[in-house]
Amino acid sequence: MKIARIEVFELVAPLEKPWRIATYELKSLLATLVRIHSDDGLTGIGECIVRLGPGATRAVVEEVLAPVVIGRDGFDIEGIWDDMYRTMRARGHSRGYLLEAISGIDIALWDLLGKKLGLPVAKLLAGHGRRELPAYASSILLDTPAVMAGEAQRLAAEGYGAIKMKVGGGRKADIARMDAVRQAVGADVEVMLDANSGYDAPTAIAVRQHAEKLGVFWLEEPVMPDDFPGYRRIRNALKGVRLAAGEGEFTVSGFRSLLEEGLLDVLQPDIARAGGFTGCRRIAALADAYNVAIAPHTGASGPVCIAASLHFAAATPRFLTFEHMYIHNPLHEILARPLPQPKSGKIAVPTAPGLGIELDENAVKRFLRKGPEL
């Protein structure tokens, strides 16, 4: 099974109402899709995470990585991954758009292999064989305490046993939000906080102190991803609330540094940023060695990333919980059939070959990016 050609699609979905988080607002949701064709007529679909500049990801796929991949044996995924990574590493590019582009290609290669062998990717990974996953509702966006509490109460009534809320809007305001949400859902529902790197270390420590009193499950991304001294200060100040992060990290070596320093309780690699299945399997092996849990990040990504994350979570050791973004994402309309939805706090893993998804080609055309605006 030789790789014959690669297609790339830039997608954009404007939002009716922006998603407000601590460090920015999302007015549109973006994705770069990769479709790989084999010489025996099969195709595999992948997704590269995109927050800005989908054209940059496309250029890396088409101009840097496609020449490395085309003509290769589609079974040699690990070797292809290593060759893609080596292409720019010695030139000082080992993260960012390069890793996001590698991720999309790698996901597509695993989808292709699953279709070739007639097996879902979760089975190809030969891991834990989970058929359904515990899932938490993500995320209650920044708003007034009353609005956020009402949303939390609604989600708890729908059967979610764990809910993530956005913070990072200031210490006093966030404490009021936390109090309102905890009062609304009671003590039996787990509450996670996601600051989206909106704090400095002293503010994060103060918020974490109050979160400990409320029995908060984790504090996610309190400071910028590369602020290791900040994480160390937060880690050393208190032990009562788990620290979670990793969506902003790209490489195995980056996650290794986080683990070696003992900075986190929960790793959150994003399969569309941290090297696809191949990269995330290596990260998961490290986490297992350090006895640290894995909770894959999905966030505002498209449905191909979500499907891939389900398969990764089903197979990986130390898996903790799955992020289900309950807020409507228009990009999910590109699938011919919708992804599984949580029932009573559990979400099923797709069982069809590969990722178990199929694109609606007409819907893909509707979301194709027309120009450089965003």
| Spatial distance between the Cα atoms of 66 and 6, rounded to a whole number of angstroms | 7
Collapse the DSSP code of 284 into the 3-class scheme (helix H, G, I; strand E, B; otherwise coil) and give the result. Answer: helix
Active-site position among 93, 128, 297, 311: 297
Pairing of strands 293-294, 242-245: unpaired
Collapse the DSSP code of 371 into the 3-class scheme (helix H, G, I; strand E, B; otherwise coil) and give the result. Answer: coil
Cα 51 to Cα 28, 57, 271, distances in angstroms:
9, 11, 15
Nearest one of 120, 103, 152, 149 to 280, comparing CA atoms: 103
| Spatial distance between the Cα atoms of 316 and 337, rounded to a whole number of angstroms | 25
| Structure token pair of residue 245 | 């992060």
Burial pattern 156-182, b for ≥16 Cβ within 10 A else e, equals beeebbbbbbbbbbebeebbbbbebbb
Q: Which contacts (CB < 8 Å, 24+ apart) does range 174-180 have?
A: 174/207, 175/207, 175/210, 176/145, 177/142, 177/145, 177/148, 178/207, 178/210, 178/211, 178/214, 178/216, 179/145, 179/214, 180/145, 180/146, 180/148, 180/149
User: Is residue 297 among the annotated active site residues?
Assistant: yes
| Spatial distance between the Cα atoms of 185 and 208, rounded to a whole number of angstroms | 19
Cα 254 to Cα 96, 99, 160, 248, distances in angstroms:
12, 12, 32, 10
Hey, which residues are catalytic here? 297
